[in-house]
Chain A
């Protein structure tokens, strides 16, 4: 029997190198990209999460595990704004994604 494995359609980040406390996309979260929009369905959820604009950009920032601070700085650079101005909003989105099972914090 021939068996060939191809990884595809995955948005999960590379977890082994995650620093303790950093945010990581959950490997069991289902994902589709619709242009700039990201549609997520954490496992067991009954409702999808639709991320647009800066919330989608946060998801893109998490293509690899990142600390809260790195996400804020990455986004501030992308949107040419000061990190201090967006920190609170970014943290709220990260916490909401964590609460709804789309991301998790690396143990540490």
Chain B
């Protein structure tokens, strides 16, 4: 966990933790010099933490010069303008899918901002994420494509998405990014999630007079955990903040969260994310889940799997090939391998230069497993 903390300067982590009870991080007591301000503000923008910085500046907990304060305000208004345009796109996409008979859940973004933060403007985001059921995935893709949404990458073979993939990415007609999910992540942990568990409950929220549905609170905790632990390297701070918001302020059935993670063979993912949130945000307060996470010992298999996600040398192919181990059933394994080994021409054209290069790279990655850290 040390390397995770070292990846982000202390002051950036203090901004990410602003307003959380019991954080040990401190903010400066006088305005930063321009030399110190510039890299901090760039990192805050990159991590989409301008809302938290703005709140700290506005409350005079982070002293700034007039010029710095003006930069923060201007950037935050820009971020919120983008968020509203994305919400407009979200509403149009939900309308489109629902009119095609596809049920959707809103992931991350608006759902977390409106349900889990005390003030939605504290949470900004850069795309739209929707979850659909495996059985309706093809219908959703068809509806979107017919309406002019442009898919970024084709699937390797027909039926691959609905059976195996994390989902598909699109550009909406107005140019926004849309991630259509079937599950949370690609690779081995994407295979052990049971997507049907995500549809056991939901929580509604109001947006522009419409009721949209998000995952239930426990589902949102698990999604934030997967995003925090497996999403990017170095890990993004926003999903860790999401987790802290949910665990410290929302009524969460932590037993259910752990039980679901256990069913998905993903306790190590949950533990890594929660421990990461507590470390990164310098949280002194504990919850049952944070105590459990601090004591959790990942198995050797989990260490290897997590490294696949946290090692930037491991690309799409490496994660795909590593997932073979956990694809359930021989028939599914063969179908999965066939699709990866003999993808359609259109897929190869867009994603990889040649099959042999793909196979060689994937096999090499799945055998050596990285280990840069």
Q: B218-238 CB contact bits vs A (8 Å, 1 = yes)?
A: 000000000000000000000
Q: Least Cβ distance of B199 to chain A in Å? A: 8
Interface size class of B (residues with CB under 8 A): 20 to 34
Q: Are B114 and A9 in contact (CB under 8 A)?
A: yes
Residues of B within 8 A of A3 (CB): 201-204, 213
Q: Are A1 and B201 in contact (CB under 8 A)?
A: yes
- Whether A9 touches B81, Cβ cut-off 8 Å, given contacts A2-B216, A35-B73, is no
A7 to B115, CA, bound (A): 9
- Whether A4 touches B208, Cβ cut-off 8 Å, given contacts A32-B84, A32-B120, is no
A3 to B213, CA, bound (A): 9
Q: Are B58 and A4 in contact (CB under 8 A)?
A: no
Q: Which among A28, A40, A41 has the greatest number of chain B C-beta atoms within 10 A?
A: A41
A85 to B209, CA, bound (A): 36
User: Secondary structure at chain B's binding surface: helix, strand, loop or mixed?
Assistant: helix
Q: Are B81 and A48 in contact (CB under 8 A)?
A: yes
Residues of A within 8 A of B58 (CB): 35
Question: CB of B88 within 8 A of chain A?
Answer: yes
A95 to B81, CA, bound (A): 22
Residues of A within 8 A of B2 (CB): none
Q: Are A12 and B73 in contact (CB under 8 A)?
A: no
Q: A32-50 CB contact bits vs B (8 Å, 1 = yes)?
A: 1111010111011100101
Give B47-82 interface residues, CB cut-off 8 Å to A.
Answer: 54, 58, 73, 76-77, 80-81
Residues of A within 8 A of B35 (CB): none
Residues of A within 8 A of B91 (CB): 43
A7 to B203, CA, bound (A): 10
Q: Are A5 and B211 in contact (CB under 8 A)?
A: yes
- Whether A37 touches B73, Cβ cut-off 8 Å, given contacts A6-B115, A48-B81, A48-B84, is yes
Which residue on chain B has the smallest CB distance to residue A30?
B84
Q: Are B77 and A50 in contact (CB under 8 A)?
A: yes
Q: Are A37 and B77 in contact (CB under 8 A)?
A: yes
A40 to B204, CA, bound (A): 22
Residues of A within 8 A of B119 (CB): 33
Q: Are B54 and A34 in contact (CB under 8 A)?
A: yes
Q: A1-24 CB contact bits vs B (8 Å, 1 = yes)?
A: 111111111101000000000000
Q: Are B83 and A32 in contact (CB under 8 A)?
A: yes
Q: Which of A4, A30, A48 contacts B207 (CB 8 A)?
A: A30
Q: A2-B200, A2-B201, A4-B216 are in contact. List 20 more A-B contacts (CB 8 A).
A: A1-B200, A4-B203, A6-B204, A7-B205, A8-B115, A27-B209, A28-B208, A31-B84, A32-B120, A32-B121, A34-B54, A34-B76, A34-B121, A39-B77, A39-B81, A40-B84, A41-B87, A43-B88, A43-B208, A48-B81
17 cross-chain CB contacts under 8 A = A1-B200, A1-B202, A2-B202, A3-B201, A3-B203, A4-B216, A5-B204, A5-B211, A6-B205, A8-B114, A9-B114, A32-B121, A34-B76, A35-B54, A35-B73, A41-B88, A48-B81
Could you tell me which B residues sit within 8 Å of A by CB distance?
54, 58, 73, 76-77, 80-81, 83-85, 87-88, 91, 113-115, 119-121, 199-211, 213, 216
